[in-house]
Structures are given as structure tokens and as C-alpha cells.
Amino acid sequence: MNKLKRISMRREAAHNKLLSLKSEVYQAFLEMEKSAFSDGALPKKHKELIAIGISVVIDCESCMQWHIEQAAKAGASVQEVLEAVEVAMEMGGGPATVFARFALEVMGHVFKQ
């Protein structure tokens, strides 16, 4: 099983576990996430691109995978995702450039490159 599939499975398992435990904090987080990523002055696609950049800078592989997938579903192009990653590289310097390697792997999977 590849790394991306393992990350997706772990994320789904944790999600389901927290729901089964009736975690009020997790439920509140899901509501906040829904609100934060809904269309507003910024469309969902732009918010997902911002989240990609943040995910790269903080080196959250699960976050990178999730937000790249969500950005693609919201209509983001390969070039838009790449530019979000590039902004993260500039803002985060050398470490973010290393972290961005995983984002490029995810892009290859999501955009079938």
C-alpha cells in the first residue's frame, strides 16, 4: 500500500473513531472547517490554495494531501496548486522547499501526472 493511501486510511479511521466517540470538540472543529472553507468573499478554491501553502510551511503531509485533493475538487488547476506550493517555498525558505516534495507527489497522484 502506498503512502498516500495509508494517510487517507488513517485520516478516515481517526475521523470515524472521533465521530463514534461523539467528541464534541471534534464536532465543533468540523463545523468550523465547514464554515472556514465555504464560499464567501474568497471562493472555496482560493481558501484551499491558502491551506496548501500553510500545509507545506508546517510540513503536515496529511494536510497537504487533503487540501490538494479538495482544491482539485473545487476546480484548481495544476498550475494554481503549484503556485500555492511555490509561495509556501518562498515564505518557508529551505525547509519548506524540502517539505514541498511531498506536495509534488500528491499533485502527481491527484492530477494524474
Per-residue confidence band for 93, with pLDDT thresholds at 50, 70 and 90: very high
Model-level pTM greater than 0.95? no
- Percent of the chain at pLDDT > 70 equals 99
What is residue 1's predicted lDDT score, i.e. its pLDDT? Answer: 66
Quote the mean pLDDT of the chain.
97
Q: What is the mean pLDDT of residues 89-103?
A: 96
Query: What are the pLDDT digits (tens) for 16-73?
Result: 999 999 999 999 999 999 999 999 999 999 999 999 999 999 999 999 999 999 999 9
DSSP 40-91: SSS-HHHHHHHHHHHHHHHT-HHHHHHHHHHHHHTT--HHHHHHHHHHHHHH
Domain boundaries, the chain: 3-110
What is residue 113's predicted lDDT score, i.e. its pLDDT? Answer: 81
CA-to-CA distance for 26 and 39, rounded, in angstroms? 22
pLDDT for residue 80 is more than 70: yes
CB atoms within 10 A of CB 38: 11
Whether 65 contacts 99, CB under 8 Å: no
Asked: is 3-110 a CATH 1.20.1290.10 domain? The reply is yes
